[in-house]
Amino acid sequence: MKNVFVVNDDSIQSPGLSVLIKSLKKHNLTIVSTEHIKSWTSKAITVNKYIKLKEKSIANHKAFVIDGFPADCVNIGLNHIIKEKQDLLVSGINIGENATDAWLLSSATVAATIEGAIYGVKGIAFSQQLSDETYDEITKNVRAKQPVIYYEKFFQLSGKVSQVITNYFLVNKLPSEIKIVSVNIPREEKYNGKWVVTRPYHWNYGSLFSKTSKGFIKTGGNFTENKVTQEGTDMWALHNGYISITFYDLPLIPIINKSIIDYLSGLKLL
């Protein structure tokens, strides 16, 4: 039995979390989730505020609930809750995809795996693409703290995918240079039964805010639906019904080579 650390950014009420737990139930799970939805918070860490820790039950498993960010969940979980070495960290299943470099860098689901990688625990982030209508309906019910068992049906494909990929990585050790894996699952009705290794699609999502009489408020941004033609990118894969698997080393890898040194050759400090 392997030790698997499970974290979620869509709150303890997320149907994606409950499906993930059920999919990985044969392993020794440590579950740490945010109390509330913390999407778009990337790798934020709580400062100048005490973080409260609670215990709840989800999918017949004990879970620790933190009123902070997903990165808080991982940091506190790995340093204060568990003592055993974790074989893998699994984050998700996120409500909505985390494809493209723009969404990836904003994703708290992916950021949880970054926090784990800092501590030497490799991680997988699973994200389920949904229609706009389904996404809005699920997140509305999660925020209202209403029962969400009904919405587990939208995560059946990603539950099976999470189980298969997690088990594969636990049995077949990831290469040393791979620290993080981001898996995006297409909508079930579009799934073509295949997976592909991808790179992140680069794009500019434009303004994320709308101006109102009270100030600016986040309302979204541009979307890539039916606009991505770069084959081999994560969003191209989703649009064409593939499961997208993207591998990463730790982000912000330093670049030091002769061209960089030559570039700075004319720099004169005061």
Looking at residue 40, the DSSP 8-state letter turns out to be: T
Q: Is the pLDDT of residue 166 over 80?
A: yes
Q: Is the pLDDT of residue 208 over 60?
A: yes
Q: Is the pLDDT of residue 214 over 70?
A: yes
Which is it for the CA torsion 48, 108, 222, 142, positive or negative?
negative
CB proximity list for 232: less than 8 A, separation 6 or greater: 196, 198, 199
Predicted local confidence at residue 222, as pLDDT: 67
Average pLDDT of the segment spanning 19-42: 96
- Alpha-carbon distance of 202 to 80, in angstroms, equals 37
- For β-strands 180-185 and 243-248, DSSP reports them as antiparallel
- For residue 208, what are the CA distances in angstroms to 2, 109, 156? 41, 19, 31
Q: Which residues pair with 241 in a beta bridge?
A: none
Q: Is the pLDDT of residue 143 over 70?
A: no
Predicted local confidence at residue 145, as pLDDT: 61
For domain 3-263, give the fold: Stationary-phase Survival Protein Sure Homolog; Chain: A, (3.40.1210)
Is the peptide bond between 124 and the residue preceding it cis, with omega within 30 degrees of 0? Answer: no
Domain limits, the chain: 3-263
Q: Which residues pair with 216 in a beta bridge?
A: 211
Predicted local confidence at residue 225, as pLDDT: 56
| Percent of the chain whose predicted confidence (pLDDT) is above 90 | 76
In this structure, are residues 3 and 26 in contact, taking their beta carbons and an 8 Å threshold?
no
Predicted local confidence at residue 147, as pLDDT: 63
Predicted local confidence at residue 251, as pLDDT: 76
Q: What is the mean pLDDT of the chain?
A: 92
Predicted local confidence at residue 156, as pLDDT: 96
Q: Is the pLDDT of residue 69 over 60?
A: yes
- Alpha-carbon distance of 266 to 80, in angstroms, equals 49
- Burial of 127-156, coded b for 16+ CB within 10 Å and e otherwise, reads bbbbeeebbeebbebbeeeeebeebbebbe
Average pLDDT of the segment spanning 16-30: 97
pTM score, two decimals? 0.93
